[in-house]
Structure 1
Amino acid sequence: MNLDNFLLFASIALIATLTPGPAIMLVTVNSVQYGVARAVLTILGNITGLFLMSLLAVLGISTIILYSAPAFFAVKIIGALYLCYLGIKQWKHGLGLSSDNKIKSKKKVPSFFKLYLQGLLIALSNPKAIAFTTALFPQFIDASYPLMTQFFILVFTFMLLSFMSLFGFAVLAIKIKNRNNFNFLENLLGKAFGSAFIGEGCVLAWSIQSNK
């Protein structure tokens, strides 16, 4: 792979990682609720999912999933249900940060594994991510160069850019949280994030229905 192709790949991947979606919303919520350190666990789960999908894309397995109606239908259903679950949970409980919020005192902080698993599931249940990796990676694989070397260069570049993007959103969320007027926005943000998750899930569900 030449430098021009690598830079083109990196620019496309960077735009993709900065585009708002379920992963950014989840990391932002977890950062505000539990802190940046715990949000990093969600980020690690998400980039693990990206690694697995990238591996499937290079092996050609994700192409089978993408064009197999039952398999892709299952992925969409799981993704839609999980996003709606996160949205309803967020809508009901909000961000739970106010000092007078009773939910906060009773709220159990998720385990490291659960936070990691949230990020992993968001990545693996996102059909857009499957389509993106399936379309992107084969375009930059040169048959005249060792496959595994190119794979690791592309995948780890994608993972690094994704980590940096999500970490940036996590830090930004904390900075906004620490503003004096954040308590006023807390409930509104909880509803907004909840609505966004539910909206993403409904869009997925609608696409399933329209493709029947």
Structure 2
Amino acid sequence: MIDPLILLAFLPASLALNITPGADMMFCFAQGLRRRPRAAWAASAGVAAGGLTHALIAGLGLAALIAAHPGILTAIRWFGVGYLLWLAVKSLRATRPDIPDTAPAHAFREGLLVNLTNPKVILFVLAFVPQFVDPTRPLLPQFLIFGAALGLGGFVINGTVGHLAGGAGRHMAASVRFSRWLGRISAGIFGLLALRLALLEVK
């Protein structure tokens, strides 16, 4: 279905993209810092699922339609800004060091929504993945395979970053005072991500 040589060329390129710090990595970092390593891995899984969804949409040809209508991308972008600001406010209000058992499920959902509402990802999938697609073969399976490879790499890298942050945050979170500071730091990260997305120029 995919030429092995093409896939081998895609993997290092996708790895280089995944290790570049960006919104997804910072989001997983904040989740690990505030909610411990388990939530960081769940958030990373949500981000990866969002990336695979983008690949599915691109494979179906819908992403090209979205990219052709800036109004849709603008609406998606501002929804993402609002959601990140809501996460920032929620982090500020969370003052207890103990996190509910449902935190990983919440982290997965939040990671998924943060990824899906980032129009930069839509345009990235449209610009990057098609370079490796063979137009003589079925397009959707190729997009899904490339999207899965990209998502798997991102899951490992972003999850590791969040896990390391969670290891440091776990010791400090035992104190209510430090837990409040962790919430403020996480809120600051979410706020900066919202600002970055608000100022993003989608072309």
TM range (shorter): 0.7 to 0.9
Q: Which runs of 5+ in 1 are unaligned?
A: 97-102
Q: CA offsets, 1:29-49, max 9 Å, x none? A: 332333323333222222111
Q: Does 1:67 align with 2:60?
A: no
Matches within 5 A, 1:7-156: 7-90=8-91, 92-93=92-93, 96=95, 103-104=96-97, 108=100, 110-156=102-148
Q: Does 1:165 align with 2:157?
A: yes
Whether contact under 8 Å (2:44, 2:158) holds in the other structure is yes
Label 1:202 to 1:151 Cα distance change in 2 as closer, same or farther (>3 A).
Answer: closer
**How many percent identity over aligned positions?**
25
For 1:36, the aligned partner's letter is P
Whether contact under 8 Å (1:58, 1:137) holds in the other structure is no
Counterpart CA distance in 1 for 2:138 and 2:199 is 42
Counterpart CA distance in 2 for 1:21 and 1:93 is 25
Tell which structure's C-alpha radius of gyration is larger: 1
Counterpart CA distance in 2 for 1:188 and 1:149 is 46
For 1:198, the aligned partner's letter is G
TM-score by length of 1: 0.78
Q: Superposition RMSD on alpha carbons, in Å?
A: 3.1
For 1:61, the aligned partner's letter is L
Q: Which residue does the alignment assign to 1:100?
A: none
Q: CA deviation at 1:51?
A: 1.0
For 1:194, the aligned partner's letter is A
Counterpart CA distance in 2 for 1:175 and 1:127 is 31
Whether contact under 8 Å (1:22, 1:197) holds in the other structure is no
Counterpart CA distance in 2 for 1:112 and 1:188 is 21
Q: Secondary structure at the match of 1:39?
A: helix
For 2:187, the aligned partner's letter is G
Q: Which runs of 5+ in 2 are unaligned?
A: none
Whether contact under 8 Å (1:45, 1:117) holds in the other structure is yes
TM-score by length of 2: 0.81
For 1:199, the aligned partner's letter is L
Counterpart CA distance in 2 for 1:74 and 1:85 is 17
For 2:89, the aligned partner's letter is I
Q: CA deviation at 1:127?
A: 1.2
Q: CA deviation at 1:192?
A: 3.8
